[in-house]
């Protein structure tokens, strides 16, 4: 009677994070879990919401009551001009903060933990975008609510106001890809913050958000007229003040699509390389 030879069964390989067998339901479940994680981090550290809550208030008070009298015939006129543009710059500031948080996750080993789990790579990045979008919604609510208390007139009505907010979120989402790419490409959170400032400052102040481009010198006016934030500010201003929109909405959507098409694949490729 021959003895049976027992051979150990091959170990089952862990599911690959990009395995299509995960399926849509599994990927959505991972996305929901990671989004909850990001929101719970905000709940555990409420100070991280201070920029979303206080920066819009500070910007309105600073520009309307310090510079408003010099920039327009009266402060109310300047508020009607400047506040719609702040939707764009608020979204820009919050989007650029995303890269710093992502860089910190790599530095603290959070991404090393994710590397060992059978989750889709896209869920990690998309969950951060969703959490940041929710922060942006809170910031926009504070900005608009505080402005209306101070006398902002939303002549376009609630639907056009929501359209302005939605347009700002679309453009801000495209900039989140830029921010995440910076966060994964630079070595430290301080470097990400410094590079983000170099991106934000020219876009913010070289635009039609705070001043009419016709008052600027020719070389700066040329930059301002091609600045996507100028198109966003003009679109939001027209929607809120119930004025003709023209082609500014289409321009913002084209810029958003172009920025996403270029930077999203680069950000995903960089994430794959680092994880």
> Where is average pLDDT lowest: 27-41, 187-201, 251-265?
27-41
Q: Which residues contact 161 (CB under 8 A, 6 or more apart)?
A: 144, 154, 239, 240
Work out whether the CA dihedral 136, 90, 265, 268 comes out positive or negative: negative
Q: Which residues contact 49 (CB under 8 A, 6 or more apart)?
A: 42, 135, 138
Task: Read off the pLDDT band of 16 (50, 70, 90).
Answer: very low
Q: Quote the crossing angle between the two packed helices 75-107 and 189-205, to the nearest 10°.
A: 160
**CA-only gyration radius of the chain, Å:** 23
The 10s digit of each residue's pLDDT in 94-114 is: 888 888 888 888 888 777 777
Q: In this structure, what token pair is assigned to residue 143?
A: 């900005």
* Residue 68, CA distances (Å) to 21, 63, 246 in order: 58, 6, 26
The 10s digit of each residue's pLDDT in 132-187 is: 899 889 989 999 999 999 999 999 999 999 999 999 999 999 999 999 999 999 98
pLDDT of residue 165: 94
Spatial distance between the Cα atoms of 172 and 159, rounded to a whole number of angstroms: 20
Q: In this structure, what token pair is assigned to residue 157?
A: 């009505």
- Residues 255/174, Cβ–Cβ less than 8 Å: yes
* Residue 19, CA distances (Å) to 15, 138, 161, 162, 181 in order: 7, 36, 42, 39, 24
Nearest CA to 247 out of 256, 260, 238 is that of: 238
């Amino acid at each position: 009677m021959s003895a049976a030879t027992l051979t150990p069964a091959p170990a089952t390989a862990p599911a690959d994070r990009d395995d299509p067998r995960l399926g849509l339901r599994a990927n959505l479940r991972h996305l929901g879990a990671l989004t909850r994680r990001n929101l719970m981090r905000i709940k555990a550290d409420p100070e991280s919401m201070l920029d979303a809550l206080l920066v819009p208030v500070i910007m309105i008070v600073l520009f309307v009551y310090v510079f408003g009298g010099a920039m327009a015939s009266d402060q109310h006129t300047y508020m009607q001009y400047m506040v719609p543009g702040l939707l764009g710059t608020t979204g820009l500031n919050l989007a650029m903060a995303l890269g710093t948080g992502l860089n910190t996750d790599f530095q603290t080993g959070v991404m090393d933990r994710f590397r060992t789990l059978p989750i889709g790579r896209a869920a990690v990045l998309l969950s951060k975008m969703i959490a940041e979008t929710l922060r942006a919604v809170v910031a926009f609510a504070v900005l608009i609510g505080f402005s209306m208390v101070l006398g902002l007139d939303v002549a376009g009505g609630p639907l056009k106001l929501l359209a302005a907010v939605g347009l700002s979120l679309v453009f801000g989402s495209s900039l989140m890809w830029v921010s995440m790419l910076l966060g994964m490409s630079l070595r430290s959170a301080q470097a990400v913050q410094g590079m983000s400032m170099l991106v934000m400052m020219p876009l913010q102040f070289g635009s039609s958000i705070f001043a009419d481009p016709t008052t600027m010198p020719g070389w700066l006016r040329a930059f301002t007229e091609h600045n996507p934030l100028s198109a966003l500010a003009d679109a939001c201003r027209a929607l809120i003040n119930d004025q003709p929109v023209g082609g500014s909405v289409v321009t913002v959507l084209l810029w958003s699509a172009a920025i996403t098409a270029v930077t999203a694949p680069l950000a995903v490729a960089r994430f794959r390389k680092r994880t």
